[in-house]
Structure 1
């Protein structure tokens, strides 16, 4: 009976291509928050961290001040799916922005890194609302964002694509994103047309010429003698 159940083929379903942002779209989005205001500086630091680390939305909202290490070997610690913990390194640019933000934030290690004005932890809906506002502003300066759906997961996909385009191995990307199965990163290979175009450029073009085949006279004579 168990063998019969296991023999049932899996249901077929359409797989959608992952959506991600191009570098110029990321720049426009990061420039959108009004950094003359407290909320804008918080949003800028949050978005930059999301794009660079690829953290899930729940991982971003769950971050505490003590989870961000800005000393030697700067990194961020988070708890992902299955309560698995991992560390993601930070670039110098992200480290610099977070250092300024956390100094202004002035929170204790067990307090949220990106709180609301009242000190409460930002909710998932709150992050999505701030992202929607930033997209509205960014698309005024980057027309390709018009009509493009952007969610916190889009920023995660964008991080993966940046790593892939930089030549990072897909197994390393899986560890970076906290994927249980390294095969999950193959979706990014399918999503980027530039990678496929570079692969095509490395191949040798067929030498066949267009037009109808014209057999030589000796071949026609041989066929007629049969």
Structure 2
């Protein structure tokens, strides 16, 4: 076993769990990155996986791997940067133990993340949410479960990992109904539930208690739904909803879109950005500021406040008689 293999085993068996206490999702992401990197180096350099050592981790090879992710696997810039973070995390830990490879490792650590244009946040309108919630079949257990799941997600804005980890004990439907969860960065928060969500959840829980397992949203045998299962169920219902709501057709809708929808609904209701950040579990308001850029009504209101007194508020529309308008110029 070479030095790189020992460093990888030390990182994932000791450092990641004991010293850093990284989340299961982070560890899985780092693991998958190194698996792809080793396979790439094996194919590119024409050597066995066991022969790949620190001397193969040159800045040129790592940049080649990052380009491979974007060009061959069609990964986004955000994913590319996440893979680079995983590589740098392991190498930063290995550097003090392997000074003989300091020059190679330092060059890799100096690779900067790639800058990218942040896309406009996509969210659903109230009519689109209604069409999506009407898509699951209420005559089946799966349909009733999915309807409850989508209703709760669109109202609370919980992330997909948070939904997967919910249990019976996390939901409270008595006085002050709410859901308790632990989000990214191990930040614990409580999210209140509306009357509509409480009524939907109450009917669902009465049926859920007859099935095994403790997961709030479970599969046929009581096991928690995976991230892929949630996205698959959502895609199925989005396809159904598009038949009655054509405005859904051009939109790329994921579970995170419902999280954005909840945030935009709060913003439209006049809720302060700092409160929305707490609602979503953001560490600060920098992540939440993106919703301000996506909310055209807020921008329109800002323009209306700066208009001259003689100008009518709202979006400009030319007079129907274009000849009269040209004459008035």
Say whether residues 1:24 and 2:127 are aligned partners.
yes
Residue of structure 1 equivalent to 2:143: 40
Corresponding residue to 1:50 among 146, 153, 174: 153
Say whether residues 1:87 and 2:181 are aligned partners.
no
Residue of structure 1 equivalent to 2:236: 133
1:160-212 CA deviation, whole Å, 9 max, x = no partner? 000000000000000000000112111000001121112212222388xxxxx
Residue of structure 2 equivalent to 1:176: 279
1:82 to partner: Cα distance: 1.8
Say whether residues 1:203 and 2:285 are aligned partners.
no
Structure 1: how far apart are the matches of 2:227 and 2:220? 16
Which structure exhibits the higher relative contact order, with contacts defined as CA atoms closer than 8 Å and separated by 6 or more residues? Answer: 1
Structure 2: how far apart are the matches of 1:107 and 1:38? 12
Task: Tell me the secondary structure at the aligned position of residue 175 of structure 2.
Answer: coil
Say whether residues 1:13 and 2:116 are aligned partners.
yes
Greater mean deviation of Cα atoms: 56-65 or 76-85: 76-85
Question: Of Structure 1 and Structure 2, which has the larger fraction of its residues in helix?
Answer: 2
Name structure 2 gaps, 5 residues minimum. 1-111, 311-329
RMSD over aligned CA atoms reads 2.1
In the comparison of the two structures, how many residue pairs are matched?
200
1:66·1:110 contact (CA, 8 Å) conserved in 2?
no
Name structure 1 gaps, 5 residues minimum. 1-8, 208-226
1:112 to partner: Cα distance: 0.3
1:66·1:109 contact (CA, 8 Å) conserved in 2?
no
Task: Tell me the secondary structure at the aligned position of residue 126 of structure 1.
Answer: helix
Structure 1: how far apart are the matches of 2:170 and 2:190? 9
Structure 1: how far apart are the matches of 2:280 and 2:155? 11
Corresponding residue to 1:156 among 243, 259, 262: 259
2:212·2:222 contact (CA, 8 Å) conserved in 1?
no
Structure 1: how far apart are the matches of 2:210 and 2:172? 14
What TM-score, normalized to structure 1?
0.84
